Structure formats: structure tokens, C-alpha cells
Amino acid sequence: MNHRLTYSALLFLLGPVALCQSSYRSSDCSTLKYIRHKVSCLCGTVEICSGDICGSPSVYEVDGDISVELRDKNGTTVDTQKVVVETIEEQGTTQDGRKTSFKRAVRRFSFQGKLDGDYLLAFTLHKNGVSQPALIFPARYSHKRKKLSETIYMLEPTCPK
């Protein structure tokens, strides 16, 4: 019994020390933690995601309006626009194998007529009308590059935590 009390007391005293030593890394939305996209156009679609689960902005408690800034490699804003929401009709199959059609919202943006070079795409989400920290994606643009598939930018709405 004495051995158990000693062990319990030791765990009680060392528990907070072990918790304090665990590393905590907060998210920093303004860091360039993403791989530089090599793109043939400064355009794409925007998805609001947490991990690999994507949904509408309301699912993640952010407003539907998303703005995107095109910045040069020094961070100076070159152009700004709002992401446009388009509703498209798609075809699918139900679980029982029947064909069905459904509507899906697609959020798109496009910057035209820019010079080749390195850019930053800074996406700003809003929560209750308040701008959140920008989510920044680096891009290397070349109009000569062969057409690549459309780039999808997945925005994490919980930054910073």
C-alpha cells in the first residue's frame, strides 16, 4: 500500500511538468508553408476545408464572401478581387445505382493580363464580417506553361487556433 501511495504522489507531482514540456505549435496563417504552385494562369477554385473534409463556409462558421489578393514576391498588393460563387449542375449516382443530378457551388477567381513571375495569392476569410488572417499560397506564373489542370486552393478556416 505504501508503494502505491508513493507512486501516486510521484505521478501527481510530475504530471504537470510532463504536460508543460509537450510542444505546442500554433498555426501561423501568414507563413509560406505551402509548396509553390507552378501555374499557367493566376486562377483557380477555392474550397473551405478542415484537413481533407471540405464544405460550405457556413459549415465552418465563416462568411460566404472570400477576397483574394494578388501580391508580388515582395508582398505588395498588385490586384484584389472577391471570389465569385457559381452554381453548376452535375451528374452522379445514388447508393442504389440510380443516376441523379445535383447542384454544387463552385468558388472561382481569376487574375488576367499579368506578367510572368513569382506571386503570392492571399485569401482572406471573414467571420461575422471581421477579416481573418490571410492564408497565403506562393505561385510561379508563366503564360507559356502548358495548360495544367485547374488549381484548387484549400483554405483552413481555423487559423489561427
Mean pLDDT value of segment 47-61? 89
Percent pLDDT > 90 in the chain is 39
Which cell goes with 32?
509560406
Query: For residue 40, what pLDDT is reported?
Result: 74
**Helix (H), strand (E) at residue 22:** none
CA distance 60 to 50: 8
Indicate if the pLDDT at residue 152 is higher than 90. no
Query: For residue 33, what pLDDT is reported?
Result: 54
Query: For residue 16, what pLDDT is reported?
Result: 40
The highest-confidence range among 6-15, 40-49, 73-82, 151-160, by mean pLDDT, is 73-82
pLDDT digits (tens, 9 = 90+) for 20-48: 333 333 334 554 455 565 677 888 999 99
Which of 23-27, 41-45, 96-100, 143-147 has the least mean pLDDT?
A: 23-27
Q: Band the pLDDT of 18: cuts 50, 70, 90.
A: very low
From residue 55, how far is each of 4, 26, 46, 60, 127 by CA, in Å?
51, 23, 11, 8, 16
Mean pLDDT value of segment 122-129? 92
Residue ranges and CATH numbers for the domains of the chain are 27-155 (2.60.40)
End-to-end alpha carbon distance in the chain: 44
Whose cell is 498588393? That residue is 77
Q: Band the pLDDT of 14: cuts 50, 70, 90.
A: very low
Residue 2 phi/psi, 5-degree rounding, is -60, -40
Average pLDDT of every residue of the chain = 78
Provide the 3-class DSSP secondary structure of residue 141. Answer: strand
